[in-house]
Amino acid sequence: MSVRAERKLQSQQTILEQVLKLNYAGHCFNSISLRQLAQAVGMVPSAFYRFFPNKEQLAVELVDQTSLMIKSHLNQIAEHVQPKNKESLEQLLTLFCNQVQQKAAHWHFFIVERWGGDPPLREKISQEQIFLVDDLTQILSKKYGEQLSQPQQLQALAELNIELHFAWIIKWLHCHDETQKNQLLQCFIQQLKFVHLPCHI
C-alpha cells in the first residue's frame, strides 16, 4: 500500500471515529452535519468527499465496522458461556463488560441508531442484526441442537439473546453508579442463564 493510500485510510478512520464520538455524546447520526464533522476532524467540509462519496456511504462503513466488532464480542460470549458455573460466567462477563466499555461508542451507535431517524441507516442495521441472529443461531445449534429439535426454537433463542444483550448494554453504558452496575451485572447473569438453558424451554 502506498503512503498516500495509507494516509487516506487513516483519515477515513478518523472521520468514522469522530462520528461515533459525536453520536455517543448525544448527536444522532442524522443530525450530524458535514460542517460539524469537518470541524471535529480538522478539515474543510468539502474535503469530506475525498474520503466518502456521500453521507450514506459513511453510514454503511460505520455499520459494517460496528457490526463486525459486535459479532465478535457476542459470539465469544455465546461460545464460552457455561451457565452452571457461576464463577466462570462472572469472569466471562467481566471480560465482556471491559470490551463493551472500551468500545462504548460503537455499541451505542449500533443499538441507538437502529431506532433512529435515518431510514437507510435503520435498514442497514436491521439487516446486520439479522446476520447476527443467524450467526448466533448456528453457534447455539452446535451447543444445543440435540435439546432443541425445532430450528424455530434456536432462532427465537438467538433473537432473545441479542435483544437482552442490547437492552442490558444500553443500561450498563449509561449507569455511573457502581452499586447499580453490580446489580445490573447480577441481573445479566440471570438472563444469560435463562437464554443458555434451552433444555427448560
Domain spans of the chain, in order of start: 55-200
- CATH assignment, 55-200: 1.10.357.10
User: Cβ(139)–Cβ(52) under 8 Å?
Assistant: no
For residue 128 the three cell numbers come to 446486520
Tens-digit pLDDT profile for residues 64-88: 999 999 998 888 877 776 656 666 7
For the entire predicted model, the pTM comes to: 0.84
pLDDT in tens, 83-137: 566 667 777 777 888 888 899 999 999 999 988 768 889 999 999 999 999 998 8
Q: Judge contact between 125 and 114, C-beta under 8 A.
A: yes
